[in-house]
Amino acid sequence: MLNLREEIQGIARARDERRALMLLCDALTSAVVPATLDDVSRDRLFEAATQHGVLGLFPLAHPQFAAAVMAGRARNLRALKFTHRVVHAIEAEGIPVVVLKGAVAASRWSDPTLRQQSDVDVLVEKRHQDAAAKALIAAGVRPRFLESEHMHNDSLQPAEPSGLLVEVHHYFNNHHENRVDVAELLARRTRVKTAQGPLPALSAEDDAVFLALHATTHALQRLAWLVDLAALKVDWREATLRAQQWNVWLPVRLACGTNPRAARSAHSRARRHSRSTPLRADAAARWRRLGRSAPPVLRARPSIGRRPVHRAAVGLAPETARAERRARRLRLTGESPRVGGC
């Protein structure tokens, strides 16, 4: 039976969360000065910044701000140390590896200690997945609890309380029909500087595609992922071309939403290659239908009695639609999502 009071309360919560999200976007882009906000708005902004993993990127006169930022920095340094430990264990066995998101993405932030993470993601070739898992187990990580036959990664729980969940990826992403050669990605890997030494990372263009794909798959639930993208210094034309070749070019358009110049470059590249293959012709046609300008990066869709789902512009990609349907099913059924981490 319909409970009208609960429905109205759900709509009100969705409206409030949308307002908090818009306020957070304004604070991140300096469209609003947090010092001029009233107490209620400051509380709302503090909660939104914490939820989206961007606390500390702008000053905020909140009684819990300093303590929360300090605690976040401590967690970040611990995560960075653990990431180096994971990489060292795998590379000691002669296995090519790169770090995904996490400490590598943090290295590009204006203050790397502000980026939060709940796990450590690394990428190896599928033929090396067992050897990498054994190396981590020998280094003090417990046996895997989720086999990669069901996902694109093995998940391993650390033995000590201070450790993090480790996800050993052997594929780009199994939620999309992509055509990515992991060996090719690893051959292009680079090293990024961190406070505790260099870490192996995807090339900038490969990383742009991966980060955009990850953000789209998770329905843009955290603004920190867009900060990751905005911090990249990347040849967006090359990134778009690779995304087209891998059949995941539409999430790159999402990445372009954070950078109007990137949007124009990607659109130009799509048109230039529109005559070569049916795939590229279809891509260019979609670009023309969607328009030259970058889409809104976030759009909130109120859902009665639930949190709003933050997503890219409507019609962005079939992958996005599937992700949203999956998120809605999980909300309605109360099932646990298959993919975690940040």
How many residues in total does the chain contain?
A: 342
Per-chain mean pLDDT for the chain: 76
Decide: 187 and 225 in contact? Cβ < 8 Å: no
User: Which domain CATH number covers 81?
Assistant: 3.30.460
Q: How many domains does the chain contain in total?
A: 3
Domain that holds residue 32: 16-63
Decide which of 41, 63, 85 is a domain's last residue.
63
CA–CA separation, 302 and 199 (whole Å): 40
CA 83 – CA 104 distance, rounded (Å)? 10
pLDDT tens digits, 191-244: 999 999 999 999 999 999 999 888 888 877 888 998 998 888 888 888 888 988
| Same-domain status, 341 and 207 | yes
- Give the end of a domain, one of 32, 63, 94: 63
Q: What is the pTM of this model?
A: 0.72
Query: Structure tokens of 22?
Result: 């818009």
Say what the pLDDT of residue 206 is: 94
Residues 342 and 211 in one domain: yes
pLDDT of residue 62: 94
321: alpha, beta or left? (left if phi > 0; alpha if psi -120 to 50)? alpha
pLDDT in tens, the chain (342 residues): 667 777 777 787 788 888 888 899 889 888 899 999 999 999 999 999 999 999 999 999 999 999 999 999 999 999 999 999 999 999 999 999 999 999 999 999 999 999 999 899 999 998 998 899 888 888 877 655 555 454 556 777 776 777 788 888 888 766 667 788 999 999 999 999 999 999 999 999 999 999 988 888 887 788 899 899 888 888 888 888 898 889 888 766 765 554 444 444 444 544 444 343 333 344 344 434 433 333 333 333 333 333 333 333 333 344 555 555 555 555 555 555 554 344
Is residue 28 within 8 A of residue 225, CB to CB? The reply is: no
C-alpha span between 221 and 230 (Å, rounded):
16
Residues 177 and 138 in one domain: yes
Residue 6 lies in a domain: no
Query: Is residue 144 located within the same domain as residue 209?
Result: no
Residue with tokens 């955009």: 212
Pair (169, 303) in one structural domain = no
Name the token pair of 163. Answer: 């450790």
Using an 8 Å Cβ cutoff, are 328 and 303 in contact?
A: yes
Three-class secondary structure of residue 292 per DSSP: coil
Q: Are residues 195 and 213 in the same domain?
A: no
Is 163 in the same domain as 45? no
Same domain, 173 and 237: no
3 state SS of 144? strand
Residues 161 and 290 in one domain: no
The pLDDT of residue 129:
87
Q: How far apart are CA 287 and CA 321, in angstroms?
A: 17
Q: Do 116 and 141 belong together in one domain?
A: yes
Which pLDDT tens digit goes with each residue over 65-76? 999 999 999 999
- Coil vs helix vs strand at 146: strand
145 close to 156: Cβ distance less than 8 angstroms: yes
Report DSSP letters for 167-208, one per residue.
Answer: EEESSS-TTS-----HHHHHHT-EEE--TTS-EEE--HHHHH
Is there a domain that residue 9 lies in? no
